[in-house]
Chains A and B, each alone.
Chain A
């Protein structure tokens, strides 16, 4: 059940020039949140910026009662959040949204992250490892600087492959090329793909998976005014046979969707 939480900031680390990792003391959220879900953060009481900012849960520490969020400074809201120091309190609404569904037994979960799309997939990878699975994490970004935070990613027991568009780290190319290679290595029924990142990347992920007959889920990011289904602002085109358009709400029916649910081509 989502709720409003007043969460003290316990740590705010700058992990790249523009990306921050915020740790909040939030025992209830740490217990309730599942991978793929997000919290909607109110930046300040003033009406500018007006909306909350939806941020994926990046990690939880249930023993310590804390959650971590990863965000990029893109505008006024995230700039203010980046300046928050331990001792300040953040108003968080959550956990909100849908979650990833478990990969069938004996399959390899392949996680494909583009840029900040790493945030929900990091949490998902952690949970898979806790459940005794060993996921393959494919992570791509424009440059090495944007491949962050690698300290967390290198620490855990999963297979990590990196790609950068400028070749400054890992394979020189797109993360989707890593996916095509990985899928070619095994039978389609032996893999399950989970992806989060920019829409062009997700489109390519869905296309590559379709070509290999592989199923999976995508986690979407959109503008949201409320985060819980009231404003209907975060609609994305749904896949369907009907000639009439229909939409899915990212905040309530997502952010995690199966490949078959949403139409990224429209």
Chain B
């Protein structure tokens, strides 16, 4: 018996709940030598802005205990080059293509979305990067206030009918409040969490390990935080949640789904084991078959909490 791994993220149907996170999977080409990308539930591309960006000065990364800090700074080729040089490659795979977009202003967000909307290439959904801690303008500011998050999401809702997924930062006092705001503004789903603001210091030089001093913390170290944030959001909104943060095994996927995520994104683990997401899909399939789980989606939000 083949277990049914299909899940729905609002109007977006996925063959399985395993996606790869923006910024950890390039534009897909980098991983094609290691596995057939069609195995994935979906690919979330590296963030696209209107103009190309070179990114932040090095050093851009630092290794931490069970995690990594980055301050890449949304380095990307810009929307035109993305459509011309990067997106065609992904068309050959039967996996959902979710384009992650960002802008310094609502207008730039809209301009990127309009360019993507005009393309005849397949794009299945957009993930709105409201939450990058590594850019001075925009970035985290878009999801730090419920009013701003609501306004931007409403403006983008007018540009497209495709599914909109708002990616939220954990670096706020009340993430559930932001989730409610984007849901009311028409977002079809939220993804949570983006990286946690962090810092690493070299005691010998007394200097920071990142050129930008602070950066985004990701990897297994942040999984407990991510689970807690997904749970908080689940209690606040009805729209689907995509869990992100330290996913590196099928067990992690199950935990996120039980807490309330309809799908997950594999991020930092892609750097360490390039075929990690494919292994997770295979392991999930095997686990469901062994356990007699016919429909994996039934697991979503089944957390048992004693009052």
Residues of A within 8 A of B (CB): 1-4, 42, 47-52, 93, 222-226, 228-237, 244-247
Contacts and interface: CB of A to CB of B under 8 A. Distances in A.
B50 interface: no
Nearest to B25: A230
A7 to B, nearest CB: 16
Contacts of B39: none
Given A225-B271, A230-B24, A47 B248 contact: yes
A235 B66 CA distance: 22
A228 B274 contact: yes
Contacts of A50: 63-64, 66-68, 219-220, 268, 272
A51 B61 CA distance: 11
B274 A226 contact: yes
A47 B219 contact: yes
Interface in B144-188: none
Contacts of A232: 55, 60, 72, 75
Contact of A225 (B25, B68, B220, B273): B68
B100 interface: no
A231 B63 contact: no
Contact of A223 (B57, B63, B270, B275): B63
B70 A231 contact: yes
B33 interface: yes
B55 A228 contact: no
Contacts of A235: 55, 58, 60, 75
A245 B54 contact: yes
Contacts of A48: 65-66
A228 B31 CA distance: 9
B59 interface: yes
B26 interface: yes
B30 interface: yes
Interface string B35-71: 0000000000000000000110111111111111010
A239 to B, nearest CB: 14
A4 B34 contact: yes
A247 B219 contact: no
B63 A51 contact: yes
B276 to A, nearest CB: 11
B142 to A, nearest CB: 22
B62 A244 contact: no
Contact of B274 (A93, A222, A233, A246): A93
Contacts of A3: 33-34
B272 A42 contact: yes
A6 to B, nearest CB: 13
B60 A229 contact: no
Contact of A231 (B61, B67, B248): B61
A95 to B, nearest CB: 12
A213 B274 CA distance: 43
Contact of A230 (B30, B57, B63, B248): B30
Contacts of B65: 48
Would you list the 10 A-B pairs with minimal beta carbon distance, nearest first?
Answer: A233-B61, A226-B271, A47-B220, A47-B66, A225-B271, A230-B26, A230-B30, A229-B30, A233-B60, A232-B72
Contacts of A225: 61, 63, 68, 70, 268, 271-272
B234 to A, nearest CB: 26
B271 A49 contact: no
A230 B55 contact: no
A1 B25 CA distance: 18
A21 B67 CA distance: 28
A243 to B, nearest CB: 12
A47 B65 CA distance: 8
A231 B26 CA distance: 7
A4 to B, nearest CB: 7
Contacts of B57: 237, 245
A223 B61 contact: yes
A4 B54 contact: no
30 contacts: A2-B33, A3-B34, A4-B34, A4-B275, A50-B63, A50-B64, A50-B268, A50-B272, A51-B272, A52-B272, A222-B58, A223-B61, A223-B63, A229-B26, A230-B25, A230-B31, A230-B270, A231-B24, A231-B72, A232-B60, A232-B75, A233-B60, A233-B70, A233-B72, A234-B61, A235-B55, A237-B57, A244-B54, A247-B58, A247-B75
A131 B58 CA distance: 38
Nearest to A266: B57
Contacts of A224: 61
Contacts of B64: 50
Nearest to B24: A230
Contacts of A52: 272
A47 B66 CA distance: 5
A238 to B, nearest CB: 9
Contacts of B272: 42, 50-52, 225-226
Contacts of B34: 3-4
Given A47-B221, A93-B274, 19 more contacts: A51-B63, A51-B68, A222-B58, A225-B68, A226-B30, A226-B274, A230-B26, A231-B61, A231-B70, A232-B60, A233-B70, A233-B72, A235-B75, A237-B57, A245-B54, A245-B57, A246-B54, A247-B54, A247-B75
